Homo-oligomer: A and B are copies of this chain.
């Protein structure tokens, strides 16, 4: 059964909603082009903006330590734009047809347009970030996107690799998903003058959350309903990406059980694979890993002053592993 939508705007302090609207406006202004064909593509991609998890993390991490200002909005919009670029290119990589309940750019306009539109988003993200006039921000976010691309490249090099181990899986996920969320928390706090110890704690909080978020994505890709999740599912199996439940199963399963899972993977038989993962307990083991990561992340919040913002960060952490979309 679908849970009601957990939207950042509903569980976070009132001011977050106004800040997220600011992000939306800055996002649109940044992408505005004098070429009409570019604008029509950007209007489509703006529909991808959904949970706004990354901007929310920037703002809450900032509010926990002081005032939140224009630079927070710029960093938040930059991080959301980086994220959007990865969605557009990921959909090319995954040959996905549906994103946020709409057709993907690659489906609508072809892979070539999707590749170039993703590039336009990356470029604009860096341009927007440069407008803040703080080289340290550019340097940090450049480092983050380098790491993110490395994660994607390493993941691609392990497609169809049935021997992929947990350590490599976690390294891939940390790079491709977690470092960006970690940087959102880190930069939000730093821009509000948080002490370095707390900045580090919030970065770890964000990274832990990010890994848990990705595991939850893995689970939804296996067991979610497309009409609830709102994007193409079953893509991991289809594209030969081993996810945590499968890795756990293959590492721990007995001979016959392991062989049946491998056959299901090779046959791209999602139902059979699910049956194996449920029976072996690998699915719930993966869910437990995500929950432990969230619990660990929440403990980092001890270095954050008590208050509304910290409570909201805490609530966001819990929501990550409870979401069904």
Q: A residues near B, CB below 8 A? A: 33, 35, 37-38, 41, 85, 89, 92-93, 111-113, 115-120, 122-124, 126-131, 133-135, 138-139, 142-143, 145-146, 148-150, 152-154, 156-157
Contact = CB atoms under 8 A, between A and B. Distances in A.
B145 A123 contact: yes
Given A35-B150, A127-B146, A142-B126, A92 B117 contact: no
Contacts of A124: 142, 146
Contacts of A153: 35, 37-38, 41, 113, 116-117, 120
Main secondary structure of the interface of A (DSSP, over half): helix
A171 to B, nearest CB: 8
Number of copies of this chain that the complex holds: 2
A83 to B, nearest CB: 13
A125 to B, nearest CB: 9
A139 B149 contact: no
Contacts of A93: 112, 115-116
Given A145-B126, A146-B124, A119 B118 contact: yes
Contact of A142 (B127, B145, B146): B127
Contacts of A156: 112-113, 116
A227 to B, nearest CB: 27
A35 B149 CA distance: 11
Given A33-B150, A123-B149, A154-B38, A135 B143 contact: no
Contact of A120 (B134, B135, B149): B149
Contacts of A149: 116-117, 119-120, 123
A119 to B, nearest CB: 5
Contacts of A134: 135
A129 B141 CA distance: 12
A153 to B, nearest CB: 5
Contact of A38 (B38, B131, B150): B150
A173 to B, nearest CB: 14
B139 A127 contact: yes
- Which of A89, A118, A123, A145 counts the most chain B CB atoms within 10 A? A123
A142 B120 CA distance: 10
20 contacts: A33-B146, A33-B150, A35-B150, A35-B153, A37-B153, A37-B157, A92-B111, A92-B112, A92-B115, A112-B156, A115-B118, A119-B119, A119-B145, A122-B123, A123-B149, A126-B138, A127-B139, A127-B143, A130-B139, A133-B135
